Amino acid sequence: MKHVSEKKERDRSVVEALLWRYGPMSRAEIRQLTQLRWSVISGTVKELLREQKLREVGRSTNPLGRKQVLLRLNEEHRFIAVVKFDLEKVVAAVTNLRPQIKTRVTESTCIHGGVDGLVQQLLSTVQAAIQESHLAPEKLAGIGIADPGLVNVREGISVLSSTLDFWRDVPLRKIFEDQFKIPVMLESDTRAEALAERVLGAGGNAEEMIFIDYGTGIGAGIAVQGKILHGNDWVAGEVGHIPMLENGPPCSCGSFGCLEALVGASALATRCRKAVQEGSKSRALELANGKVGNITGWTVLQAAKLGDKTCIAIIEDLVKYLGLGISTLVNLFNPSVVVLDHRLSMAGQGFLDQIAWVVKKQALGPSTANLEFRFAKLGSDAALLGAALNVLQRTFEIPALKPPHFMVERSVIDDVAAQRRAWANNSTGALPDALR
């Protein structure tokens, strides 16, 4: 949690945070929600208006009483730079405080230069997006990064990636903060997408939600009481590595029979290519311009929607195993909404209905009684918007006041006293100098 030393600074943060989350609203509504004194609200709002951090946007529509002037956060006062990347593309953008994407720069991923080459590309692509936005550097509130692999959010380190073999233990947050001199937030792309879909997309701000990220790998972003779950070692949501078959195909994690090894996008493509090479007639080949090597998991989904029997059979297995994986998550976390990756919508509404049927058949009845299934709404922008939201939630976090010095000193004294008691109970030697 952020800390401030002055009540005035905290009051300003409270008003800004309230308007970012729930605005526009009147001074009276701010008073009702915060219980701040009228004089504090009046003075704080006046300052924020003068600094152009807030705007007056008309009057309330209440049927009785005086029509109140509504206040709204000036969404163009500051901006966020964001970047996402994977094996194929690096995409950087600049968003306002809504967040809403203002400019975007896209490049093919440079994987031949190793860690140093990719880091430099990420830095330069973000710089290019900032330059294209024509913003003054001081207007940037922070930078959000959506990483394709496992990340240590607390330390800001990219731990590993299953698709970028060389991408291990990269201190990405420090690198960016050293370069840009502003706060940087690092998150996995799956959790960034989950955050965006919960707040801005299909999740509808559900407190309990599961988002399924589907591609070569299969991941889950899990919202519990409105917060995205990370886990003790930052690996919560690795649904793709739930074992499904004891002697199934090898998985990139080193195990066998994992969900993504059975029905990830690459697995679908491999199975379809093999069927075509063995003589099966499939519209997937037509969609791939007659080249077997061009068949992808997405080709299979499209062909199945068109009625292709070979691809329908493959998608039936996807429905079966993905439904079982989601059933496990539903039993564990009891969400109100399950949101599936927007790319799965290629298979049509029938696919979503079949997934819902499998989950409701396999999971506990009370867990599925009020459960809704939806396709994601934000498309390929979800990770960028989620990275921006990650920064914005930190920016508009309501800070705590720092405790007085005497309380800090008291806590230090109490800590030393506790260490002395522990030493006395477990040792017969001389008291260490640090505890004298």
Between the alpha carbon of residue 46 and those of residues 8, 52, 391, the distances in Å are: 13, 10, 26
Is residue 330 packed enough to be buried (19+ CB in 10 Å), middle (13-18) or exposed (0-12)? buried
* Cα dihedral 136/137/143/148 (nearest 10): 80
Q: How far is CA 291 from the centre of its chain?
A: 36
Number of helices followed by number of strands (H, E) in the chain: 15, 17
- CA R_g for the chain: 26
Taking the C-alpha atoms of residue 426 and residue 70, their distance in angstroms, rounded to an integer, is 64
189 is catalytic: yes
Q: How far is C-alpha 182 from the geometric centre of its chain's CA atoms?
A: 20
Q: Which of 86, 189, 341, 381 is catalytic?
A: 189
| Beta carbons of 251 and 261 less than 8 angstroms apart | yes
CA-closest candidate to residue 92, choices 125, 133, 140:
125
For the annotated catalytic residues, the residue numbers are: 189
